[in-house]
Amino acid sequence: MNIQKVAPALFSASGTGSGVAAASAVRLVLPTHIHSPVAVYTCDPSAGCSAVPIDTGVDAPVYLSLYGTGIRGASWIDKVSVTIGGTTMAPDYAGPAAAW
């Protein structure tokens, strides 16, 4: 058995541990700062869950939130990276979700 201090993983939209990531997104319209939800995935009882393409825009950036586990144990934000479609980037935040 290999026990690691941090073993990050993303939650899936279907709850099966595979397929489309459980995520949410919001579009921020500049300069008004009005925000609106953006569809990230859709689920159908017979077909399962599938990704919805996101139009990132130029003057209305989209902020994507991915939900996972094992991330808050990272010692520093600069130790966390995200790779989407072969592009690696640094997240703005990696840690516990706010309690509502």
Condensed to tens digits (0 to 9), the pLDDT of residues 20-69 reads: 989 999 999 888 888 999 999 999 888 889 999 998 777 788 999 988 88
Smallest CA-to-CA distance from 91 within 51, 59, 64, 52 is with 64
pTM value is: 0.74
Return the pLDDT at 76. 74
Return the pLDDT at 8. 77
- Please provide the distance, in angstroms rounded to a whole number, between the alpha carbons at the two ends of the chain: 36
